[in-house]
Amino acid sequence: MPRAQRTPEQIESVKKKILETAVELMNRVGYRDFSMRGLARELKVSPPTLYTYFHDKDELYLCILIEGFKELYGLVEAECSRGGDPFGRLRGIARAYVDFGLHRAHFYNLMFTWHVPKYNDYLGTPVEEVARLELETALGVARLVTGVIRECAGEGYTITEQDARFLLVCVWSTLHGFIAGINNTLLTYMHEDPLSLVDDLVDHVHERFVQDIRARMTPRDRAAAR
């Protein structure tokens, strides 16, 4: 008797399990030593079974990044949609980002820390379209945050897109350094309990963020006259 076809929901569930197992294995053995055959052994399935869901290692890797950025996007979007003071939303975004980096470290390492292939490495390859989707998903997170930064200017003032991107880079660099320092245990040599610093760090970054945003606010009439 032929096996019943999987429903779309079942297929997505299997793909999610493959991605979760793949990202754990990739963190354990490294990107270069990761293989579809090794993943098949981990999942106790045959290699051809994996290829019914993912064409090759590159497509699987890019889908891992897409999954990670989709999750991060959802967390950031939830903070953006809270309404109220945009400065308060920026603090919530910073805290959500740190929580994601610490609690989803396996994804975070591939997304932000490791020296792994990026979009330009896939130009002209069979997975270029998947790589483009990954890039757009990642940039979508940045666009959400820069939108809130510009909203902080308030009525009668503006913050340029260039300034908003610069401030995002500054804040991201600080938060990323903290997350990476905890994930690679480096900060344990500098502080007895670095995890206890999360709230203080987010508060510190937020206070500096507020100062820098206000320093770059320009009256709209002056900006229009340029």
Note the pLDDT of residue 225. Answer: 45
Chain segment 160-187, per-residue pLDDT in tens: 999 999 999 999 999 999 999 999 999 9
Kindly state whether residue 204 falls inside one of the protein's structural domains: yes
Chain segment 130-170, per-residue pLDDT in tens: 999 999 999 999 999 999 999 999 888 999 999 999 999 99
Residue range 215-225: average pLDDT? 73
Kindly state whether residue 41 falls inside one of the protein's structural domains: no
Kindly state whether residue 102 falls inside one of the protein's structural domains: yes
Q: Count how many domains the chain has.
A: 1
Kindly state whether residue 1 falls inside one of the protein's structural domains: no
Note the pLDDT of residue 33. Answer: 94
Chain segment 52-80, per-residue pLDDT in tens: 999 999 999 999 999 999 999 999 999 99
Chain segment 70-128, per-residue pLDDT in tens: 999 999 999 999 878 999 999 999 999 999 999 999 999 999 999 999 999 999 999 99
Kindly state whether residue 45 falls inside one of the protein's structural domains: no
Return the percentage of the chain with pLDDT > 90, whole number. 84
Note the pLDDT of residue 12. Answer: 85
Q: CATH number of the domain that 160 lies in?
A: 1.10.357.10
Q: Residue 4 — pLDDT band, cuts 50, 70, 90?
A: low
Q: Which residue range forms the structural domain that includes residue 220?
A: 55-225
Note the pLDDT of residue 83. Answer: 79
Note the pLDDT of residue 221. Answer: 58
Kindly state whether residue 194 falls inside one of the protein's structural domains: yes
9 versus 76: the higher-pLDDT residue is: 76
8 versus 122: the higher-pLDDT residue is: 122
Q: Does 205 have pLDDT greater than 80? A: yes
Helix/strand/coil (H, E, C) string of the chain? CCCCCCCHHHHHHHHHHHHHHHHHHHHHHCCCCCCHHHHHHHHCCCHHHHHCCCCCHHHHHHHHHHHHHHHHHHHHHHHHCCCCCHHHHHHHHHHHHHHHHHHCHHHHHHHHHCCCCCHHHHCCCCCHHHHHHHHHHHHHHHHHHHHHHHHCCCCCEECCHHHHHHHHHHHHHHHHHHHHHHHCCHHHHCCCCHHHHHHHHHHHHHHHHHHHHHHCCEEHHHHHHC
Kindly state whether residue 35 falls inside one of the protein's structural domains: no
